[in-house]
Amino acid sequence: MMETPEETFAPLPSLLPMALAAAGEEEARRKALRLEHNRTVAITPRHRWVLRENVVLGPSDFLALRAGRLVEGATSDSLLAKTSHADLLKNLPAPFLLKGVREAALRLVQAMEEGEPIVIFGDYDVDGTTSAAMLRRFFAELNHPVHVYIPERLVEGYGLNPAGVRNLAERFSREREAGIRVVVVTVDNGIAAVEACRLAQSLGMDVVITDHHDLPPTLPQAHCIVNPKQDGCTFPYRMLAGVGVAFYVMAGLRALLRERGHPLAAQVNLRRSLDLVALGTIADLAPLDGVNHILCRVGLEVMYEHVVTGARPGLAALLKLAGWNADVGRIDASDVGFKIGPRLNAAGRLGNALATEELLSTGSKLRAEELAESLHLENAERQRLEKSITQQALSQVAALGGELPAAFVLHHDNWHTGVVGIVASRVLEKYYRPTLVLGRHGDVAKGSGRSTHAFDLFSALNEVRGEFLAFGGHFHAVGLSIEHAKIPWLQRHLHACAQQRIADVDTHHPLEIDGSTPFDALDASFLQALLALEPYGVRNPRPKWLIPRASIGHIKRVGKTPDSNHARVTFVEGSKEHPVIAFGMADVLEEVARTRDDVQLVVEGRLQLFRGTWRPELRLIDFFPVDGGHT
């Protein structure tokens, strides 16, 4: 797809040969028992341990691990041959395979040629704001300015909505009176906007929907729809984020403009937009395999380039406030998930996300710093609200007493609807049950839901979507509005669905284990080899390793507060000591240490920069005593 010279660059030095040699040095490393695929080996209060693959530390197993995660159907050899970004980008499917891209691009070409206004109708989360900023930048490079509209969450609600359409109709009243149509391009929204599309059409607007959410039973009557999940779409990957869909529309438009000899289209470099694609994709928790893995692997490199060269002053300012260490020399998915994403989301959660879109678009260092400081402060307020509401929501669950329902519908009149999605995630983490959390606006309850790996929350509610005032989402996450009086019915419906459809084995969060290994095998060279699998995320998690037996040595609590439950633990395997960091487990580790039982544990490893030197750091994910009893 991206074959032009300006969109390729020299291959990165391959880390694989050294790492594979290290992994194959000792046949003893292959002594780990062969593990039965997808077999539950333990259940703890935290997880159900599942052996993902028959993986040990030989080279062939490493390649199988890599091939199985990144590109469906690819062979190990073909992946090894594609270690440069140029080769990775050539693996991307062509834009016109995505149903609706050609129609969308043709309509936008027509609007550009005939002087019709183009409005990018965004959303208030990171996926929506990156999409809007990316398209604004793209049209600016073509010297064709467009308008960006992002609805106010607490006033208009999510996505393309009638109030927003009326606002646009008023803004472009002169053009409409002159018979000039307005083209509205939705990004990361619109697939359920039946009423808003009908209204837009009646007011002289053509709507081009670009979205990635699951399809409702009735699709809007738009000019065209671009969504990889729609019937008849030949695009080979269904799980693009909203910004990924918008990127492909942009690629299709550039191709048509080049065919028509647009004087600036040949100069537009799509690779420069991949930092925003990566940002929106990772922050939206889209899967990081297949096409998304390619977009984000290259996109994170582009993001680092743009931050250090000053091309993205907004991201540079935000990272500085978040405590990013520039000496690391890279930006990874965890930086996006924990440093950038929450701060960009803060404005949309508490007010209007136009500040976020401006921060991503501006070239002014001074303005970027002002916006970053504002978002940083809003994020602090978001954290305060989230902590308070989470405590109240957990108290509601505790007050239920007895046997808990199979799913939760938690609500309070004063809960801020901008943070209830995060609160639902926190409740899900603790109880691992599908959870809806709702606030109230008058007679309407609004909120968000999060679900487990085994329960399709979207389908369970889509079956009764006629009961909702607004509804949308996908398997694991939904947003909805409902009459407040219907909350008891909603509680009964969701509980009944979850009780019927969630098997006993799926009531614990699965912890997928990639292989069994001694501590010594998780050395710097092997962890360096695993960098080839990054970025990590949904459907491509950081590899986790089973340590069959070790004893607990020294436990030292660490953290910023005296009551911290984090610890640095020394595990003893054979005669060697191995330091491991354990978050949120100090209490139970100390309890088990007093029994002197050995433990079986699951860890993940990463390389950490410490005083200028990269060294392995192992993080404890879960454990239980070998000699009986669960922690």
d(CA 69, CA 87): 18
Chain segment 336-354, per-residue pLDDT in tens: 999 999 999 988 887 788 9
Q: At 427, which helix (H) or strand (E)?
A: helix 420-431
The pLDDT score that the predictor gives to residue 19 is 34
Q: Which two tokens stand for residue 244?
A: 């990924």
Chain segment 440-455, per-residue pLDDT in tens: 999 999 999 999 999 9
Q: At 491, which helix (H) or strand (E)?
A: helix 487-501
Phi-psi map region of 310: left, alpha, beta (phi>0 left; psi -120 to 50 alpha): left
Ordered strands of the 147-149 beta sheet: 147-149, 118-121, 182-187, 205-210, 224-226
Residue with tokens 């930092």: 275
The pLDDT score that the predictor gives to residue 51 is 82
3-state secondary structure labels for all residues of 335-357: HHHHHHHHHHHHHHHHCCCHHHH
Angle at Cα 521 formed by Cα 515 and Cα 522, nearest 5°?
A: 80
The pLDDT score that the predictor gives to residue 34 is 37
Distance of alpha carbon 122 from its chain centroid, rounded?
18
Assess whether the previous peptide bond of 616 is cis (omega < 30° from 0): no
The pLDDT score that the predictor gives to residue 29 is 38
d(CA 284, CA 56): 32
Q: What is the CA radius of gyration of the chain?
A: 25
Buried b (16+ CB within 10 A) or exposed e, 358-370: bbbbbeeeeebbe
Judge whether 556 and 527 are in contact, CB under 8 Å: no
Chain segment 230-246, per-residue pLDDT in tens: 999 999 999 999 999 99
Mean pLDDT by 10 residues, the chain (631 residues): 34 30 38 46 88 56 62 39 72 96 98 97 95 97 96 85 96 96 98 97 97 95 98 96 98 97 95 98 95 96 97 97 92 96 89 90 96 95 95 97 94 95 96 97 95 96 95 93 97 97 92 88 88 90 92 92 91 95 94 91 92 91 74 42
Judge whether 336 and 283 are in contact, CB under 8 Å: yes
Q: Any long-range contacts for 22-25 (C-beta under 8 Å, 24+ apart)?
A: 22/523, 22/525, 22/526, 22/529, 23/57, 23/58, 23/59, 23/62, 23/521, 23/525, 23/526, 23/529, 24/58, 24/59
Angle at Cα 82 formed by Cα 76 and Cα 88, nearest 5°?
A: 120
How many residues appear in the chain?
631
The DSSP code for 227 is -
| Residue from 435, 475, 151, 93 nearest 292 by CA | 93
